[in-house]
Structure 1
């Protein structure tokens, strides 16, 4: 059995534009970098994606979507659906369609209210920029999870497009761990749909009448990071463990990643989870953290600015206030870890690679920041 690697703007009150007075320099193992604040005052920013012109869409968990363009942060973009903002729920991730230049399509995940509570949903819309304030048009919810509940935790949810045109996304177990083992329940899963919300015919459970056809893999606790990795040509996810046992996985079609049957963490009470760390029929993670770092957004580094990091994974962490650089060999195998910016910026919710190769970070707080990391030498 494979074993995992283990290593112990002035707009609506927002300040935008580089704030060089607060610039900081960091010496990492391979390169010296400088951090500058691009915007302040974001309300618990959650996700970010770049448009073809280099501007970026940024979500705030409190229910606002903003455009950062030419050092200016927009007012909230109109057109969003009703969002259930409570606990860990709200407006979550955003992804720009690969064909955006032709369609103007953007996708976002959010906690959708319903009669039984709330659940993760995915919507599609067109971003309109016609010289006026940016707005969304033609908003349509293309996926809505089953089993909505009043629980305020573990909505997931990251979005990532695969080169085959399908959309992968994640949903947590909604605080009810046993749901992650039910193939008919969207909770605790990695899922895959077409951009119109239909189910790809090659999904592992597309023809299984006892399973939810959108599901790609099950047994996930709360994946808040997802990316497409060109090195291994596969989807990777990052998920919160309980007390310890945060995981990096490479989900494969139809497979079970163990939660809550196996885990490298323990319950918050200190008691054992399930059967322990492994059992037949359950996949091992590629990497895990114990103690937990509370990982969130993740990216694979590909860019001209930091060739020293080419192919490495970058994981934002809420606990310890850092970015974990997971070093990889030419085959994509994780070989080690470097912890960057520990304690410098507070809770880091997301990390993205900009078109010029710089890193953009979102800090998770009431007056959150957008921070750019660039080369200093």
Structure 2
């Protein structure tokens, strides 16, 4: 692939990655404002157009009045109140449809002009299919909030929706890195030093911890666990909450017990931060100053500290919308920085020898 084609295509993929970050941020705002159940029908194509008449607004509002959330939380707030919560969800869905166009239209052009390989074209088309599947998962999640007595979506389906978004984000971002910085030829590779090998293993372990922490964060959001135990580091005066194992069987506590869900998220976040900072102590000396790996590890250190501080701030402030949305979005930023570092490890020229 020609160098200028690499820059163009990787830049387009980076734009898509940033759009997914925007989608995660909008999704956080939608969840925290209780807007996610405001649209009762799923119209993948016609949903591009918002309500344009008073009659259409009245139809949508009438649908919303049939679900439990309206009667339990918003009964009597009128059409104006409905419109306030409607727009966050509509923008969330519109952004997803826009991303589909931003992916498929340039991809069709690149394939037509033979600017990308067949293998890359197939991979990117699979991403488009996965994006459509993610929309379907989102609707299944929303529909779970229509069940009797419910005012929110099921936590497990919320986590599934978030996880699917992050999988697509990681796949597109890794592809963008690979297009922009293809792997060096085998003959230019150098044997990594022992500290470099150890740092590489620890970084992969840190990647796993980031993913687990994000999943735990999804359950924290889905169970509204962040609105309880708003002190740090203790929870009602205890390091481990006294009712951690209140539910039976034990695994139910990890997805449904507010105390256990929040504690697990705290514990995993702390382990993630300590693992990454320990890795930096080893890795920064193992990789050449100025290399992508060295610079990426510096960014990783700052990113994990910022994310940890955001988490504590969100908890202590009892999850205001702005803090919850920023914390959720920056988790994906941290994941992206870690992905950048892991991808840069393929460049053996970064080794200090």
Q: When the two structures are superposed, what TM-score results if normalisation uses the length of structure 2? A: 0.27
The structure where helix makes up a greater share of residues is: 2
The structure where strand makes up a greater share of residues is: 1
Q: When the two structures are superposed, what TM-score results if normalisation uses the length of structure 1? A: 0.26
Which has the higher Rg, Structure 1 or Structure 2? 2
